[in-house]
Amino acid sequence: MSSDSRLTSILFNKCPRCHEGDFFVTKSAFSRHFDQMHDHCPHCGTNFMPEPGFYWASMFVSYAFFTIWTLLTFFIVVIGLKVDLNYYLVGLVPTLIILTPYFFRMARRTWLTIFIKPLPHPTPGKLS
């Protein structure tokens, strides 16, 4: 992967340390085993399970994603497009259900990314 940003790792299922190995076993958040993670990065060996219960707090990150999604769509649909609030709420519930596996995976990657320092990117021309 050309980019070494943490955001790239969070969005594209990559290891927060090396940005190369996959974080979850399946590529898609909408597959049957969307929640299965690698124990260690297949590329650099970083431990994805630092301690038991580590990902409990990612539940709050997921909650933040749902809140951001709800507020963002509210301002676009109800305020911007002037759609009736009841129609918005009826449409919101299916989107929240559909996005649950995606936000689940993104929340776990975000939570681990907070605690993992990425590998330094090699500077061209610099010998180490």
Q: How far is the CB of 97 from Zn ion (least distance, A)?
A: 32
Q: What are φ and ψ of residue 60, in 5° steps?
A: -75, -30
Strands (E), 44-90: none
- What CA–CA distance (Å, rounded) separates 9 from 76? 28
| Cα 59 to Cα 72: distance, rounded to the nearest angstrom | 20
Residue 21 CB, shortest distance to Zn ion, in Å, is: 4
Minimum CB distance to Zn ion smaller for 21 or for 103: 21
Distance CA(28)–CA(101), nearest Å, equals 9
Residue ranges binding Zn ion (CB under 5 A): 15, 17-18, 21, 41, 43-44, 46
Judged by DSSP in three states, 22 sits in strand
* Nearest distance in Å: CB 77, Zn ion: 39
Cβ-based nearer residue to Zn ion, 44 or 96? 44
What is the nearest approach in angstroms of Zn ion to the Cβ of residue 41?
3
Question: Cβ closer to Zn ion: 70 or 118?
Answer: 118
Of 65 and 118, the one with the shorter C-beta distance to Zn ion is 118
